[in-house]
Copies of this chain bind each other. A is one copy, B any other.
Amino acid sequence: MDRENSDPRMASAFQKHQFTILLTLFQIVFMILFGLFGKYDTATMPEGSEDSLPMAVKYPLFQDTHVMIFIGFGFLMTFLKRYGFSAISINMLLACFTIEWGMIVRGMLGHEFAHEGKFTIGLEQAKRLLSPMSLTVACHRRKISKYGIEYRIASPSVEKFHISVKLLTSDFAAAVVLISMGAMLGKLSPVQYLIMALIETPVAIFIEHTVVHTFHVNDVGGSIVVHAFGAYFGLACSKAFGDKSQREHENEGSIYHSDIYAMIGAIFLWVFWPSFNAGVAEPADARQRAVCNTFLSLVACTITTFIVSQATDHHKKFDMVHIANSTLAGGVAIGTTANVVLNPLHAMCVGVVAGALSVIGYKYITPVLNNKVGAHDTCGVHNLHGMPGVLAGLVSVVFVLIYEPASYGKSLTVIYPAWNSASSQAVNQLIGVGLVLVSSLISGMVTGFILKLKLFNQVREKELYADGDYFETPADYDFNTRIVSRIDRVEINEHTQLTQKEI
């Protein structure tokens, strides 16, 4: 932590302890709110429930997503040579912070809270009544009752007990913040990251709520409300927060091993992305489509990434930044419509466009954003989450218009709960994209200004993109993350010396 000597004593003590003080305060407030309003799902998951199927279906999807949030995002951000400890640790901290905070916000926005002043936390509905999905479960129950177990009749009044805060959606809330973190990576102190998450989470969830519940936008994989929101929030925040010193900093680069670490994250994201997009898809046929479309989009996107990465390179070499990031753009771009696309080729086309767009973004757009616009983007989230997220939204408009609604049969009203006509749904999808762009840019920019306040610990220029000020580092830290890169330049010289010594 930087200690500014000119500060009065009190302020200095706050500077020194502000992370401890603020995070303790937040955690206490969160726990009070959980204590007052949070509860488990005793009504919809009755004592001695036999129904194992909902968990069997949803738990693996949740766990895959959980791996994406903590391993995927975490390791993807370890590519910076001197920022590995921070990337993986702060990722974990922010995810946990946002999970708690997001549960509270989402809970308070729910029907249940409005009616009963409580919100229910759970994995998945054990009983899904009055929806097309509930019948299998209901008839299960029925038969059990023949064998002597009490049978609870399905009634409209039970509807309100639907779980309002699922573990899975709390992981989605974390994803928003972690994407913004990608744009700000290396430029914030731990306390600033917390403040960013504190502000961003309620805005993102409120906007998501509006987009999904007011405008009835279909955004099954969250490409609009999670990916685009997180990316543009981060970019706007970076624009408002940034200054010149953050650009072309010598610490901003990778070493050979850190690029390989990043691939651990990248591939786990890649492999489990179908689960992310299918996690909340209903009913079963839409869920399977979500898996297949995401799979095909990613595959086509990956091939395109290799093509464009080499084609646009001066030396005709691949760039690991593209391999680790742009290959994932296909997952984002198909996210909004993963449950909707009815033709394998369409999913592949989306992937191809996303891959090309993302590599081109890294190559030509990010430098412009950085140098001209002043929106420095450490991880290039604009290319992985931002543009592909907007693409996802536009693609959703296209698919609403070109597919015959009858093709979805009874699923139609689950996928588009307020279906009226193709054109009205298309307009709604567009409104969703617009709303997310405007709100994320504004809220991100405001957040950036707030983060600049001297009140909060700021990262010293020398220690930008570096662990040294915030983590205890082992003795080899400087050698392996700084000196080594310089030795490389005197390779032959050194080699000669060594060989001589050997002789």
Contact between A140 and B136, CB atoms less than 8 A apart: yes
- Is A471 within 8 A of B320, CB to CB? yes
CB-nearest residue of chain B to A59 = B60
B66 touches A271 (CB 8 A): yes
Q: Which chain B positions have C-beta within 8 A of A502?
A: 486, 489-490
A409 touches B46 (CB 8 A): yes
Binary interface encoding of chain A residues 214-230 relative to chain B, with 1 for a CB under 8 A from any of its CBs, else 0:
00000000000000000
Contact mask for chain A residues 62-74; partner B; CB cutoff 8 A; 1 contact, 0 none: 0110110011001
In the assembly, how many copies of this chain are there? 3
**Which residue of the partner chain B has the closest CB to A62?**
B291
Q: Is A122 an interface residue when CB atoms closer than 8 A count as contact?
A: yes
Interface contact A480-B299, CB-CB below 8 Å: no
The answer to whether A263 and B319 have CB atoms under 8 Å apart is no
**B residues in contact with A123, CB < 8 Å:** 288, 291-292
**Residue contact A475 to B488, C-beta cutoff 8 Å:** yes
A112 within 8 A of B: no
* A292 CB contact (under 8 Å) in B57, B167, B299: B167
Most buried by B among A52, A57, A66, A167: A52
Whether a CB of chain B sits under 8 angstroms from the CB of A440 is no
- Contact check, B291 vs A167: say whether CB atoms are below 8 A apart: yes
Q: Which residues of B contact A121 (CB under 8 A)?
A: 292, 296, 344
A261 CA to B51 CA in the complex, in Å? 40
Closest to A306 in B: B93
Taking a contact as CB atoms closer than 8 A, the residue among B20, B34, B147, B323 that contacts A311 in the complex is B20
Instruction: Tell whether A232 is near chain B: CB-to-CB under 8 Å.
Output: no
Given contacts A47-B412, A317-B471, 13 further A-B contacts (CB under 8 A): A20-B307, A31-B345, A34-B348, A52-B57, A52-B287, A63-B274, A74-B263, A85-B318, A93-B306, A121-B344, A260-B261, A320-B472, A480-B484
